[in-house]
């Protein structure tokens, strides 16, 4: 990516350990082939879906990713403008380099991602601040009791943001100083549920791979599950998201939306994920590459091309709506 510092490029592209899971997220799709239907008189397919009462133009949302101002000077604001331009949802990372209020000023549909902090009052403050800015859902990332070992960053000595950039949403409301993100291995379900007391927004848990955890999330009244291994940045060797999906979808049994991220790059990947039981998908790195290449327009181009590809693949599969993307359209082949 021209213009992107190689150290920052490594931060965005890389993952934990040997990056087996980074790689597996994409290659796992290779084993899943489409078995299209023909002569279904679909007309132009309709890829819209309704999520938490909002009609979205298509099933591709923006995953939370940190530090957009490392990729482009306009950072999260550019990404949000692109979300607004295309009508999709942007999930703003807790590690965003732009204040949530400024991002919300673009008029984009926003969700806000957070890691519950050991300081419960600060977690409540964060959730309240995001809600006041107008976000419409909270995404609680649960796959990070500790930091994954990202060896590219260790080799490059990439430990901190360059001066002038900061995690603007981590400013302490009293001192104004930016706090560090604290990952807490003693967190449990009750820490997620505590957010219920401070917000009426839907709460999704992100980073679920095991079907028992998905069932637990539903049993505890959470509003959505995101099947994710954090783009392979946490547990190297974790199962590819698309491989974890069927058992999670089966455990959830349609009671709440099941989203998926990890390795989604083409319309075929989106259609495959929905046919395997996902309600929608999110993309992480493709948004970063669009941002680095062309700011707002770059991100909008990524989102538009993927959207067009989804519609094309739906037509080629004989599916008029997302509801027609069902498991019978898939065959698993040997690698
Ligand atoms: C550079 C980068 C930063 C990320 N930052 C966060 C984050 O702050 N919070 C979070 O929940 N997930 C974070 N993720 C994980 C993404 O939300 C998502 O799970 C992952 O990128 C999806 O995989 P993909 O990049 O293959 O599309 C990050 C991923 C990348 C690549």
pLDDT 10s digits, 156-193: 999 899 999 999 999 999 999 999 999 999 999 999 99
Q: How far is Cα 213 from Cα 206, in angstroms, rounded to an integer?
A: 11
Pocket test for ligand 1, best of 15, 152, 231 (most atoms within 8 A of CB): 231
Nearest ligand 1 atom to the CA of 263 is 26
- pLDDT value of residue 212: 99
CB-count exposure of residue 2 (10 Å: 0-12, 13-18, 19+): exposed
Nearest ligand 1 atom to the CA of 261 is 22
Residue 114 dihedral angles phi and psi, to the nearest 5°:
-145, 155
- What is the SS3 assignment for 145-188? CCCCCCHHHHHHCCCCCCCCCCCHHHECCCCCCECCCCCCCCCC
Q: How far is Cα 148 from Cα 160, in angstroms, rounded to an integer?
A: 16
- 51 Cβ partners below 8 Å, 6+ apart? 89, 257, 279, 280
- pLDDT value of residue 201: 98
Question: Looking at residue 64, what DSSP letter applies?
Answer: P
CB atoms within 10 A of CB 248: 26
SS3 of residue 205 by DSSP? strand
Q: Which two tokens stand for residue 6?
A: 């190689």
Helix then strand count (H, E) for the chain reads 12, 12
- pLDDT value of residue 334: 87
**Is domain 6-329 given the CATH code 3.20.20.70 in the classification?**
yes
Rounded to the nearest whole angstrom, what is the distance from the C-alpha of residue 106 to the centroid of ligand 1?
Answer: 22
- pLDDT value of residue 2: 56
- 81 Cβ partners below 8 Å, 6+ apart? 106, 108, 296, 300
- pLDDT value of residue 122: 97
Nearest to 78 by CA among 86, 13, 134: 86
Whether 8 is a known active-site residue: answer: no
Q: How far is Cα 251 from Cα 302, in angstroms, rounded to an integer?
A: 32
Nearest ligand 1 atom to the CA of 144 is 11
- Which segments in the chain show pLDDT lower than 70? 1-2
Pocket test for ligand 1, best of 64, 90, 116, 138 (most atoms within 8 A of CB): 64
DSSP string, 298-311: HHHHHHHHHHHHHH
By alpha-carbon position, which residue is closest to atom 3 of ligand 1?
A: 65
């Amino acid at each position: 990516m021209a213009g992107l510092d190689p150290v920052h490029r490594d931060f965005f592209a890389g993952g934990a350990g040997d990056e087996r899971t980074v790689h597996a997220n994409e290659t796992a799709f290779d084993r899943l082939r489409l078995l299209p239907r023909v002569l279904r008189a679909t007309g132009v397919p309709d890829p819209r879906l309704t999520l938490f009462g909002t009609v979205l133009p298509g099933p591709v949302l923006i995953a939370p990713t940190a530090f957009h101002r490392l990729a482009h000077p306009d950072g999260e604001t550019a990404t949000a403008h692109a979300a607004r331009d295309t009508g999709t949802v942007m999930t703003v990372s807790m590690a965003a380099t732009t204040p949530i209020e400024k991002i919300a000023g673009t008029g984009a549909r926003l969700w806000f991602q957070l890691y519950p902090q050991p300081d419960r009052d600060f977690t409540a403050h964060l959730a309240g601040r995001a809600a006041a800015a107008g976000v419409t859902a909270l995404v609680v990332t649960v796959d990070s009791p500790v930091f994954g070992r990202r060896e590219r960053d260790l080799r490059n000595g990439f430990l901190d943001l360059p001066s002038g950039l900061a995690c603007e949403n981590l400013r302490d409301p009293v001192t104004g100083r930016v706090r560090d993100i604290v990952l807490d291995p003693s967190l449990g379900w009750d820490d997620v549920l505590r957010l219920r007391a401070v917000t009426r927004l839907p709460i999704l848990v992100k980073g679920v791979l095991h079907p028992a955890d998905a069932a637990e999330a539903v049993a505890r009244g959470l509003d959505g599950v995101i099947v994710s291994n954090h783009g392979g940045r946490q547990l190297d060797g974790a199962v590819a998201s698309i491989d974890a999906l069927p058992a999670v979808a089966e455990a959830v049994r349609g009671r709440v939306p099941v989203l998926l991220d990890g390795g989604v790059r083409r319309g075929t990947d989106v259609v495959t994920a929905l046919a395997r039981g996902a309600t929608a998908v999110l993309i992480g790195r493709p948004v970063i590459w669009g941002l680095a290449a062309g700011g707002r327009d770059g991100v909008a181009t990524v989102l538009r091309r993927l959207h067009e590809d989804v519609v094309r693949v739906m037509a080629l599969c004989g599916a008029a709506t997302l509801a027609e993307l069902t498991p019978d359209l898939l065959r698993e082949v040997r690698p």
